[in-house]
A and B are shown apart, each in its own frame.
Chain A
Amino acid sequence: MGEIIILADVINNVLKESTSEVVSAAISLGGNPIVIVPGTSPDAAASTVATFDGVTSVIALQGDCFATYDSAAWCEAIASVSPPGHLLTSSTSIGKELAARLAASRNATVIQDVISIDGNTITHPIYSGKAHEKLSLNGPSVMTIRSNVFKPSGNGGSASITNVNCSSDLRTKLKEMVAKASERLDVSEADIIISGGRGMGSPQNFDKLYSVAGLLGAAVGASRAAVDTWDEIPHEMQVGQTGKTVNPSLYIAVGISGAIQHLAGMRTSKYIVAINKDGTAPIFRHADYGIISTWEEALPILEQELGALLG
């Protein structure tokens, strides 16, 4: 069946934590992986990857093309050093796009957002997590592994590192980077998220969520109802089936009733806290900790408690 290859999640030469979870996933597929670490100077990230338990060897793939993201060029460079077999990477937006391209270039099947691997039986969510699909794998694949599902591998290893140079022509041109208007964390990158719904009453009241988020290092999200109602709440904050699917350690839903659209985007969060004045709201059926209260009463106490604990 060939080797098991991992494409490390590296952006601007910085290794993302999810890579060690992908190593665990690769091991449950029944093999010891070769890890490709792409970058303009990938040595530091490659040294870290070499310590992950179970890694056989590391390819530090140096190329100028990795200075800016270009899916076609990156795919070509990565494919040039990938032996046949299964290829795994993290389920980020870049990871998913590269996975689709790499699969097409290797005549393999792509499976996104894998949450369980049992031999050749692969499970991933469909309909935004409203159902799970169990697939039987009969040939080479490219998979992306959802974060916070597989246990990170330990770091007692010492795999060998091979340095490879590559060049690949960029097919797109980065003309300009327009910096973010604020330093606010994006929901797709946060490990804790606090989201508001239409129950917040006005977009100005989201400031209360930002105060709590600041204490927790959390991102602020919103339900579709909130995004559709208020122009001040942009779509990039939307968690749900037509927004972002998130999988944080802690998700705090404030003034969100829990429409199926929203649940589809956050139901796999490790812990869910719901604050809602309506005790019959569907969100409470999915919450680990439900607090029946108005946000006006609950949020100041939450902020005060967290401030005392973390501030």
Chain B
Amino acid sequence: MVCSWFKMVEIVVLIKQVPDTNAKIEIKDGRADLSMVKWITSPYDEYALEVALQHKEAIGGTVTALTLGPVRCDKTLKDAKALGVDKIARIDVSEEYVDSSSVQSMLASACKSLGAEVVYCGKSAADTNAGSTGPGVAETLGWPSVANVTSIIFEVNNLELMQPSSDGQAKIGVDLPVVVTCDKGMGEPRRANVKGIMMAKRAVVELIDVENFEGNTSVIEHSAPPQKPPGKSFDGSEHVPAVVKLLRDEANVI
């Protein structure tokens, strides 16, 4: 049935596969060695997925989970499919370093070709901790963005969002189209059920072809962070006054 006044909202959620946040990162030949790490969906993207599904449940629409990465990232997409997203799509890039501006430009092109009207993503990815993707995609699309959102009320053409600020919480209204980056606080992300997992096994990942934008950076090397010299150790609370004295006289921090 086609109703001229009713339009399904195209919801796109950007998700990223990252090393487990408990993983130790080893350096081998000047590069982070990720061959042994366990890969997970970036934790804040799980909140974004939850919000995208809540948006669909409240208003109606289609949810597409989109990622950029090599074939290993299909696991993250299938996990999203098991939670109930309608479509899963990937921009295929190699394991090599991809400049952050290239990432944003490619994701923005894909959002456009998917007909996105609202884009959700985590406030930052657990590997880069940069938080550049959401606002960068918004700027490329010419859309507003609201970052670090902790709760949302969904309306047909607009959203009401809560965002922490230095003075407390800001309640913000914004019309679609918009990019929203999600913080914890949206409610616990749902878990997949058996039916979802079975369906996800058969799901097909749509490969999206976009023009690659050449970035301005290349990696020289990765290194382990410099180790601090060993500190001073004191056994027993009777040494607390000595430590306070050191904080004042040696460290000059109090």
Binding site for B on A (CB under 8 A): 11, 69-72, 75, 93, 96-105, 107-113, 121-122, 125-141, 171-180, 186, 189, 192, 216, 235-236, 241-242, 245, 249-250, 259-261, 264, 267-268, 270-273, 279, 284-294, 297-298, 301-302, 305-306, 309-310
Contacts and interface: CB of A to CB of B under 8 A. Distances in A.
A107 to B, nearest CB: 8
B216 A134 contact: no
Interface in B119-138: 126-138
Contacts of A272: 231
Contact of B217 (A109, A132, A178): A109
Nearest to B142: A72
Contact of B104 (A104, A236, A264): A104
Contacts of B8: none
The 7 closest A-B pairs by CB, nearest first: A139-B216, A171-B144, A104-B139, A297-B237, A100-B132, A293-B237, A100-B135
The A contact surface, by secondary structure, is: mixed
A131 B27 contact: yes
B228 interface: yes
A309 B248 contact: yes
B25 A130 contact: yes
Given A104-B104, A241-B21, A291 B237 contact: yes
B194 interface: no
A239 to B, nearest CB: 13
B126 to A, nearest CB: 6
Interface residues of B, number: 84
Contact of B169 (A132, A140, A178): A178
Contact of A235 (B101, B166, B184, B223): B184
Contact of A121 (B173, B215, B220): B220
A109 B100 contact: yes
Given A110-B101, A111-B217, A131-B222, A290 B231 contact: yes
A78 B240 CA distance: 50
